[in-house]
Amino acid sequence: MAPTAGGSLAHPTVGGAFTSPVLPGTGWPGDPADATTPVAQAPADVAELAADASLEEVTARSAVCRACPRLVEWREEIAVEKRRAFATEPYWGRPVPGFGDPRPRVLVVGLAPAAHGGNRTGRVFTGDRSGDWLFGALYRAGLASQPTATDAADGLRLQGARVVAPVRCAPPANRPTPFERDTCAPWLDRELSLVLPSLSAIVALGSFAWSAALAALTRCEIDVPRPRPRFGHGAELRLRGPGGDVLVVGCYHPSQQNTFTGRLTEPMLDDVFARAVSAGTRVSRPTSGR
Ligand code: SF4
């Protein structure tokens, strides 16, 4: 891990003294890893460490992964340089694992952590405007304990929902390469396979998330139609999962580009989550035979 510049800094809520990037097991709120967590250094390591891992192990192991050289360099560079508004804060600067209920009804799939959001706070969609929109909608849908997400010690709990990024490290210009997407896929596949039995809906935030979710579902041996349906806001796809039907819903990503321009509004976001929540109230099929 690259050395921090400017020494250690205090976390805005819990204090202490943290390097940027944060070393595993040094007390960062919610850090699932410690100094003994195995570190993936290459794509083959990701596949090996994700296979047969528990949800806790996927969360911890992915949070120390170093398999994508370009992303490791970028996330750590951002952590050291920082944005002026956060110059006095330590930056997480590591991969951002899935967050939320270990037995979710609704899985929210995003793209990748934001450079000064999740890459700073260590929690997905936390600390930026996109997260304000997402967690506000989850709160209104009864899936979150509070409407705001400022840092990893803010007390936010998700009830019946989980949020995950198909690429767990902040990419330059929010654009991961196909190599980075594919290298990170075993983390997503394993996490998805572990939560699938309780899932009744997946909300895909944007076309990248839609494609990543359908590809992961296919790798989890869920029958996804070919050709794969195209992404659109409000697009729906009903699949047969191991625990009953799973509704996949497309939703514009709550990026500032979409929310500032009115392409995505709060009522549009609320409608998507209302559909996702109501999918869970439908009668599930018996699990026998699958
Ligand atoms: S993007 Fe995924 S596979 Fe690549 S370094 Fe980050 S966590 Fe590892």
pLDDT in tens, 48-98: 999 999 999 999 999 999 999 999 999 999 999 999 999 999 999 999 999
- From 1, 49, 58, 71, the mutation candidate for ligand 1 (largest count of ligand atoms within 8 A of CB) is 71
pLDDT band, very low/low/confident/very high, at 290 (cuts 50, 70, 90): very low
pLDDT band, very low/low/confident/very high, at 25 (cuts 50, 70, 90): very high
Query: Ligand 1: does its nearest atom lie under 6 Å from the Cβ of 163?
Result: no
Q: What separation in angstroms does the CA of 239 have from each of 137, 187, 200, 244, 263?
A: 24, 22, 10, 9, 28
Reported as half-sphere exposure (CB side, CA atoms, 13 A), residue 100 has a value of 29
Among residues 269, 232, 244, which one has the least CA distance to residue 132?
A: 269
Average pLDDT, the chain: 94
Tell me the average pLDDT across 181-193.
98
Show the tokens assigned to 12: 């805005």
Angle 128-255-132 from CA coordinates, rounded to 5°: 40
Q: How far is the CA of 5 from the centre of ligand 1 (A)?
A: 23
Tell me the average pLDDT across 161-182.
97
pLDDT in tens, 213-223: 999 999 999 99
Residue 188 neighbours by CB under 8 Å, 6+ apart: 164, 166, 212, 216
Q: How far is the CA of 150 from the centre of ligand 1 (A)?
A: 24
Q: What is the pLDDT of residue 77?
A: 98
Please report, for the chain, the start and end positions of each structural domain, with discontinuous segments joined by +. 9-279
Q: What is the pLDDT of residue 243?
A: 86
Query: Ligand 1: does its nearest atom lie under 6 Å from the Cβ of 119?
Result: no
pLDDT in tens, 236-270: 999 999 989 999 999 999 999 999 999 999 999 99
Q: What is the pLDDT of residue 7?
A: 82
CATH code of domain 9-279: 3.40.470.10
Q: How far is the CA of 184 from the centre of ligand 1 (A)?
A: 5
Reported as half-sphere exposure (CB side, CA atoms, 13 A), residue 79 has a value of 34
Does residue 169 have a pLDDT over 50?
Answer: yes
Tell me the average pLDDT across 278-283.
70
In the chain, the percentage of residues whose pLDDT exceeds 70 is: 94
3-class secondary structure for 5-26? CCCCEEECCCEEEECCCCCCCC
Query: Ligand 1: does its nearest atom lie under 6 Å from the Cβ of 62?
Result: yes
pLDDT band, very low/low/confident/very high, at 6 (cuts 50, 70, 90): low
Q: How far is the CA of 62 from the centre of ligand 1 (A)?
A: 7
Does residue 2 have a pLDDT over 70?
Answer: no
Beta-ladder partners of 202: 107, 248
- From 41, 169, 177, 182, the mutation candidate for ligand 1 (largest count of ligand atoms within 8 A of CB) is 169
Does residue 287 have a pLDDT over 60?
Answer: no
Residue closest via CA to ligand 1's atom 2 equals 184
Which residue type is seen at 47? A
Query: Ligand 1: does its nearest atom lie under 6 Å from the Cβ of 206?
Result: no
Measured from the Cβ of residue 282, the count of other Cβ atoms closer than 10 Å reads 11
Residue closest via CA to ligand 1's atom 3 equals 184
Q: How far is the CA of 148 from the centre of ligand 1 (A)?
A: 27
Residue 18 neighbours by CB under 8 Å, 6+ apart: 8, 9, 10, 11, 26, 27, 28, 90
Q: What is the pLDDT of residue 1?
A: 53
Does residue 281 have a pLDDT over 70?
Answer: no
